[in-house]
Chain A
């Protein structure tokens, strides 16, 4: 069973993350991102706004997530490592094939 490597990228915008992944795709047979806004949806979680954990309101219990202003995306590779991604990733998590999805 192959390990799964998840690279977390953080950027100021979705466009910045796209540009970083286009650069990291150079010379690779299957790109992480290409064109104006295309991502490899089979391996890249589309960029999403980062939020801080919600804090429950003392009276109502309502949780309110707080946007940080940054954007995140995750590149998840099955049985592969990528040195270019490792250079730009905020973190790398390696796990056995798990029940995600």
Chain B
């Protein structure tokens, strides 16, 4: 009798289980994500460089800027009466491109890329360094309508999406260096100086 009772209870339990599992459970897991990809690690302005002819230019926002080299600097000293912005002699990490590439990949509508701070200082002043962000594809917009000194604001917003920023967005990042004909360069010259620009991506 006892065995029959146990068997009956087991049967009822299985029926009950069958009833409660009569359906599908759909589990959805979508993590929010914010990804930053940056290729250029080093923008170098070498006014002693002898490998360039002084005629090489980089197009930044529709304006050609001469690459820094000895030949270009000599030409500047010969002809300049004021200031001139120069493009880098070379870049590291860009595979030969004259600009860095920043890519933002996210499923968030709002994000911002900015220069949060600058570490180090140049003899001629960090205000001699200008930055320009140019949209290639994707979402958001650049905040730099013209090459802007990196000291113009702190922090300095480069580009952002205030709505609809989801997906992949790619921007070119240019830096220029301003030379002034009135600069009194020390006898030992200015060489081997470096600043670090801190780039910050956030989704507020």
Check if A and B associate: no
